[in-house]
A and B are shown apart, each in its own frame.
Chain A
Amino acid sequence: MGFFLEVLIGGLLAGVLYSLVALGFVLIFKASGVFNFAQGAMVLTAGLALVRALDVFEQWHWPFGLALLSAFAFAAVIMAIIAWMVERLVLRKLVNQEDIILFMATIGITFFLEGLAQTLFGADVYPLNVGLPKDPIFLLESLFDGGILVNELDIWAAVAAGLLVAGLALFFQRTRIGRALRAVADDHAAAQSVGIPLNQIWFIVWLVAGLVALVAGAVWGSKLGVQFSLSLLALKALPVLILGGFTSVPGAIIGGLIIGAGEKLAEVFLGPSMGGGIEIWFAYVVALLFLLFRPQGLFGERIIERV
């Protein structure tokens, strides 16, 4: 039982990170109907900007807290510039084009960002230390023999993700801009007709997705080091989205948790009987089953229609 829980918790915590990447997708998809393939590249760019800026500031012997804050601010500015450029140079030119054209455009943005980020910030593997403890700790030692082994970093990651989601929920439900974002997600034309400027909204939503990517990059980066493979996270987020529904923020979170936990449990408990290696493809098979039986995902939008 202790072992099962240990695997489950480990899986859930890994799932939080998938959720973070999927969340960025959902935000942009809801507000502009664009499937943003570049979300993974944005995670990479944000992570690289963060780690390289932190290195530089530490070389200047800034105190760690200040260096860390400045590095986050620097990376946030980079994400804002990217959001602005995407809106100005891509979305504005392609307004009212077919979905597939916008999708292709985001693939273009992916390659551009990957190239640009690595040109500017370097292409090595950079270890990132944002001051989170990395020691393994044991939970519930009184209940189970030996307790449950959990990585402390993962717990902090989960806390960060939880705060981010709570913050986003507040932003969407309680603020004027958040309300405008939901209005745009519901009906572009009507939002325009009441004077909500779509260009501004697109910039904001790409910026928010960029900041989510920054958090994802910081967390993944401290776990695995900032490296090119962060860009491939986009592919891991895909099954999460299919599971949770492309338009649902809670769906992205829960989908991520299910995929994360399912993956680890399958690997540990089914793996030995199937020769192992399940973790790599498990998520995609689950996604495939969902596409067959529940294509809108667990929390896909209920379509309200009334004439």
Chain B
Amino acid sequence: MGAESRLPLQPGEAEGVASANVLDVANIEVIYNHVILVLKGVSLSVPEGAIVALLGANGAGKSTTLKAISNLLLAERGEVTKGKIHCRGERVDGLTPNDLVRRGVIQVMEGRHCFGHLTVEENLLTGAFIHGRRRQQIADDLEKVYHYFPRLKVRRASQAGYTSGGEQQMTAIGRALMSRPNTILLDEPSMGLAPQLVEEIFEIVKNLNEREKVSFLLAEQNTNVALRYAHRGYILESGRVVLDGDAADLRENEDVKEFYLGIGGEGRRSFRDVKHYRRRKRWL
């Protein structure tokens, strides 16, 4: 299966594509509906075995970046018009989502998107679609998912539409695991969840990263949590990467503190001043 195979660099491929990276995104531009320019040259890379956080406000382009990689963009009439995306040195822009899942890159969409009328277990099994009829392997993987998410085992026969938000998020991640991915593109796992659950989900992400060697590229608005669990971070603003670095450095960065963590600065200021300050320091 494509999941394990590492294709050699094609002759003429862009140089500087480090083989240690599972994903290399180079300067991509994305246009929706032929007119709306959403990403204006985003570059990032996900090293093998890393958790990389993609941070930014609403509409900054986090989800679009993930969808550009998994190529779910096409279904929303979006298009990568410039730039290149490599997966382990192989050019993957223009492939279908199915091709990417076969290469071990799978997206967990924002808002969970469970199959509401299927049971939790059926939801998980759909994740093994690309593995065809290998019953033993699928049964083993199912047990593994239940090991990481014991709560899903209890709820296995419930219709996914009637489970809680946290259980749906677990179902969505578990479903992705069933495809035996090496990279998961995780979009807003914290959305609409209680802080305690957010923490639980991120603990599982960390576990999967350490034990199953799954790399993560996760888009998050919850900068605080994301930077605690990630190794690296990229900050997007209006479709551009404005800052990137090790998660520890980003946590200490004054601007990140000010804009995203809300803890920086010199005491209280009036809202008007904040807005003014923010406008002046905008990275553009």
Interface set of A (CB-CB < 8 Å, partner B): 95-96, 176, 179-180, 182-183, 185-197, 301, 304-307
Contacts of A191 in B (CB 8 A): 115, 126
Interface set of B (CB-CB < 8 Å, partner A): 70, 72, 75-77, 96-98, 100-102, 106-109, 113-118, 122-123, 125-127, 129-130, 132-133, 159, 161-162, 165, 168, 175-176, 178-179, 192
Indicate if the CB atoms of A197 and B70 lie closer than 8 Å: no
Query: Separation in Å of the A303 CB from the closest CB of chain B?
Result: 9
Query: Separation in Å of the A92 CB from the closest CB of chain B?
Result: 12
CA distance A196 to B129 in the complex (A): 6
CA distance A139 to B76 in the complex (A): 59
Contacts of A193 in B (CB 8 A): 70, 72, 97, 106-109, 113
Of A187, A190, A191, A194, which is in contact with the most chain B CB atoms at under 10 Å from its CB? A194
A307-B122 contact given A194-B175, A195-B130, CB 8 Å threshold: no
Given contacts A96-B77, A191-B115, A194-B126, 9 further A-B contacts (CB under 8 A): A176-B125, A176-B129, A180-B126, A182-B117, A192-B75, A194-B101, A194-B129, A306-B161, A306-B165
Tally of contacts, chain A with chain B, CB under 8 A: 92
Contacts of B115 in A (CB 8 A): 182-183, 186-187, 190-191
10 residue pairs of the A-B complex, CB under 8 angstroms, read A95-B75, A183-B126, A188-B75, A193-B70, A193-B97, A193-B108, A193-B109, A194-B101, A194-B126, A304-B162
A187-B113 contact given A195-B98, A306-B161, CB 8 Å threshold: yes
Indicate if the CB atoms of B125 and A195 lie closer than 8 Å: no
The chain A residue sitting closest to B77, CB to CB, is A96
Contacts of B117 in A (CB 8 A): 182, 185-186, 301, 304
Contacts of B70 in A (CB 8 A): 193
Query: Separation in Å of the A185 CB from the closest CB of chain B?
Result: 8
The chain B residue sitting closest to A188, CB to CB, is B75
Contacts of A304 in B (CB 8 A): 116-117, 159, 161-162
